[in-house]
Structure 1
Amino acid sequence: MFIDPETLTPKEIYKLLIGSVVPRPIAWVSTVSRNGVYNLAPFSFYNVVSRNPPMLGISIGPGVGERNGTEKDTLTNIRSEKDFVINVVSNKVANQMHLSSSNFQPEVDEFKSVKVTPMESKIVKSPLIMEADIKMECRLEKIIELGSDHLVIGRLVQYHIIDDLYCDGKVNIGKLQPVGRLAGNYNLVENIFLLPR
């Protein structure tokens, strides 16, 4: 079967893409507004985009639902304050991450709404999520408009990891229990193996 993406609606091609590019890591992004309001949002269009210097990229689409077509608070805050934090989603914070995907109004402190604890960052203004085992402070490098979305690239300026996960310069993935995104569901990384079997 062959499918020409030009013959599909944006929603139809989106469904095929999110069902094919799996599992996707989740960037649980924390930002702060110009007025000091804390914001949280998960993004599964996310990855490392440079190793030297270390940079991470998240793709932020337009608002949906009652905020259809508007700019998301995360993007507004990053434009304004020039920084953000990527908190890694593990099994123990998966429910709070999912709750933070709701459409909150810009004046709502989402840390309070989903019951996680803000923690002061070492370098950037955006807060860390205390309950996340890995947190990455990023300074805005650039924002690239790509079709309907915005690719936000941040330079890693401070890395936080709990002692239990740090082993000889590496992350213990088994102990981390990272959560990934499938098409409309989630997966837990727990079946780790080497190839060839």
Structure 2
Amino acid sequence: MPQGTQLCTCQHWARLRDQSCQQLLSRLLNERTAFAKSIPNFSDLITKLEREPESLTSFLKSMDSAANAARCDDTGSLKHTGLQYMLDDPAKDRFDPPILKSRSKALRGCNHPQTARLLGPARDIAEFDIDPQAYMDKVNAGEKKINAKQWPSMFYDMSLYDPKNKKKGLLGSRTLNQSNTGNPQNDAPPTPPRSSPGPAPPRSSPAPVS
């Protein structure tokens, strides 16, 4: 490529880069302005934090602590106790074999018949039920491929499932209903919204998972 052509090409890409940066900067400024308008006295708060660096440090630490606490609470509760939502009736049903908190999570997923049935494609339920272990072995050996387009049975009310109409029964499963309401009962009403600020009322302890 001639040197003059190379120079023109570089200048062209430089202009495009500058335009892209300007567009990004403009979008960020618009978002910042919209965010500031949504918070009462935002400008006064920022001015105060600029004058008092220690207040800014304290504020950022508080935000970080709150975010970490929320993450730990959410993920921690799902690691083991959340498994109860996979049972049809957590008050009576148990995992067989038991899923123990002290055991490796590698024994769950496609290595446990009950969790594998929920994670497997809805269209494969009949095949799975004929021989669960054989189905799990095929998945773990890579002989049976499962992709993101195959909705898991955990998402469906299987009494309504229709392979020709994937929308029937979708998101109507007992598992999703129980996890959404935060109550291990299929017919339990969702937690009502609080009408006033303050701490949320305590929830009843979930049934232990065997």
Same fold (TM > 0.5): no
Give the structure with the larger helix fraction. 2
Give the structure with the larger strand fraction. 1
Higher gyration radius (CA) = 2
Q: TM-score, normalised by structure 1?
A: 0.26
